[in-house]
Amino acid sequence: MPAPHGLPRDDLRGSAKQSPDTVGKYCGRFAPTPSGPLHLGSMFTALASFLQARSNQGQWLLRIDDIDTPRVATGAADGIKRTLEHHALYWDETEFLQSQGAEAYEQALQQLDADGWLYPCSCSRKDLATLPRSNSEPAVYPGTCRNTNRSRKQPHALRMCTENIAVKACDLLQGPQHWDIERECGDFIVLRRDGIVSYHLATVIDDWRSGVSEVLRGVDLLESTPLQIHLQRLLGLTSPSYLHVPVIANRQGIKLSKQNLAEAVDDSNPSITLIQLLTLLKQRPPEELRSAHPEHILDWAIQNWDVTQLTGVKMIETN
């Protein structure tokens, strides 16, 4: 993979552990935020990404997305690793902490800024709260500060210009997608007012540094894809393929999440949890596997993994 202008590959890797050359090889990842324990919905995505990687004889990496420090809960990262290990979901290499990538993120910001894609935005939360919204969708930023030459000496965020930008992609489960970023998303933040790099920029850089060839994540993040592809293009980075699996919801159709107080995964009987997850993944595990060890369950699941069972599915309800 050629290094983009201004972002030499060795420098981007920074202090992170060097990965083997992954060109032509499958490399997937699971990237939880350590804001609390894993719940059934996050384990659903973890297992799907693990099986997708292992069935392709590829690597499966663990990245702890801890860059949003106000959301980080003490001990959560260790708890996440313990839960994965209890379920025999062993990752390759040493887990990467997103908080270790500051130097690489700064390089990317400097390049985008030098190329004229960024501008300071001094809009307050109160200003943004008044923007029109459609149903539960987030408001589209109208470019208020785009052409105003705001001073960078006052508190501000940095936004990415999306004027006349359109992105097409084919999601391996959700099908062809097309986005008019300016109309549907608006100019988005890449550096917050508090100095924290945005999820979109950090994810793009981290996936590239790790050699991730396919991003498998929940369909609730599908709308992040055009923003990340836009950044990849501007930074000269090769885009991975994308595969967005369904989210898990309760009987009321509400997505399981930490914000909705979803229960933590019970580590006491990992075999039962794995069977439940495989059933939700529409893999039809045989009854005799219920009493098997987690490693044996995963052996069966890798051999029989069929991600196409989830084609077009956006939500799966559970009891």
Does residue 110 share a domain with residue 152?
yes
Lowest mean pLDDT segment, chosen from 18-22, 182-186, 310-314? 18-22
Q: Is 90 annotated among the ligand-binding residues?
A: no
Does residue 93 share a domain with residue 149?
no
Residue where a domain stops, chosen among 163, 191, 219: 191
Q: Is 33 annotated among the ligand-binding residues?
A: yes
Q: Is 180 annotated among the ligand-binding residues?
A: no
Q: Is 217 annotated among the ligand-binding residues?
A: yes
Does residue 135 share a domain with residue 275?
no
Residue at 5 is within a domain: no
pLDDT at 1: 26
Residue at 1 is within a domain: no
Does residue 241 share a domain with residue 155?
no
User: In Å, how far are 35, 36, 138, 315, 317 from 249, measured between CA atoms?
Assistant: 19, 18, 20, 7, 5
Does residue 307 share a domain with residue 271?
yes
Kindly state the percentage of the chain with pLDDT values over 90: 76
pLDDT digits (tens, 9 = 90+) for 181-209: 999 999 999 999 999 999 999 999 999 99
Does residue 304 share a domain with residue 211?
yes
CATH number, residue 163: 3.90.800.10
Q: Is 125 annotated among the ligand-binding residues?
A: no
Kindly state the percentage of the chain with pLDDT values over 70: 90
Q: Is 170 annotated among the ligand-binding residues?
A: no
Q: Is the pLDDT of residue 8 over 50?
A: no
Domain, as residue range, for 117: 103-191
pLDDT at 133: 63
Residue at 134 is within a domain: yes
Q: Please give the Cα distance from 214 to 49 (Å, whole number).
A: 9
Q: Is 21 annotated among the ligand-binding residues?
A: no
Does residue 142 share a domain with residue 119?
yes
Q: What is the 3-state secondary structure (H, E, C) of the chain?
A: CCCCCCCCHHHHHCCCCCCCCCCCCCEEEECCCCCCCCEHHHHHHHHHHHHHHHHCCCEEEEEECCCCHHHCCCCHHHHHHHHHHHCCCCCCCCCEEHHHHHHHHHHHHHHHHHCCCEEEECCCHHHHHCCCCCCCCCCCECCCCCCCCCCCCCCCEEEECCCCCEEEEEECCCEEEEEEHHHHCECEEEECCCCCECHHHHHHHHHHHHCCCEEEEEHHHHHHHHHHHHHHHHHCCCCCEEEEECEEECCCCCECCCCCCCCECCCCCHHHHHHHHHHHCCCCCCHHHHHCCHHHHHHHHHHHCCHHHHCCCCEEECC
Residue where a domain stops, chosen among 144, 159, 191: 191
Q: Is 31 annotated among the ligand-binding residues?
A: yes
Does residue 213 share a domain with residue 95?
yes
Does residue 292 share a domain with residue 212?
yes
* For range 289-313, the mean pLDDT: 97
pLDDT at 126: 73
What's the total number of domains in the chain? 2
Does residue 128 share a domain with residue 73?
no
Q: Is the pLDDT of residue 290 over 50?
A: yes
pLDDT digits (tens, 9 = 90+) for 98-155: 999 999 999 999 999 999 999 999 887 776 766 766 666 678 888 888 888 777 878 8
Question: What is the value of pTM for the model shown?
Answer: 0.89
pLDDT at 140: 87
Q: Is 185 annotated among the ligand-binding residues?
A: no
Q: Is the pLDDT of residue 67 over 80?
A: yes
Q: Which residues contact 187 (CB under 8 A, 6 or more apart)?
A: 119, 121, 141, 143, 146, 159, 160, 161, 162
pLDDT at 153: 77
Q: Is 27 annotated among the ligand-binding residues?
A: no
* Average pLDDT score, the chain: 89
CATH number, residue 264: 3.40.50.620
Name the residue among 72, 141, 89 with its Cα closest to residue 273.
Answer: 89
Q: Is 262 annotated among the ligand-binding residues?
A: no
Q: Is 199 annotated among the ligand-binding residues?
A: yes
* For range 60-66, the mean pLDDT: 97
pLDDT digits (tens, 9 = 90+) for 204-262: 999 999 999 999 999 999 999 999 999 999 999 999 999 999 999 988 888 888 777 77
Is the CB of residue 205 less than 8 Å from the CB of residue 101? yes
Q: Is 33 exposed, middle or buried (0-12, 13-18, 19+ CB in 10 A)?
A: buried
Does residue 223 share a domain with residue 83?
yes
Does residue 210 share a domain with residue 90?
yes
pLDDT at 5: 37
Q: Is 145 annotated among the ligand-binding residues?
A: yes
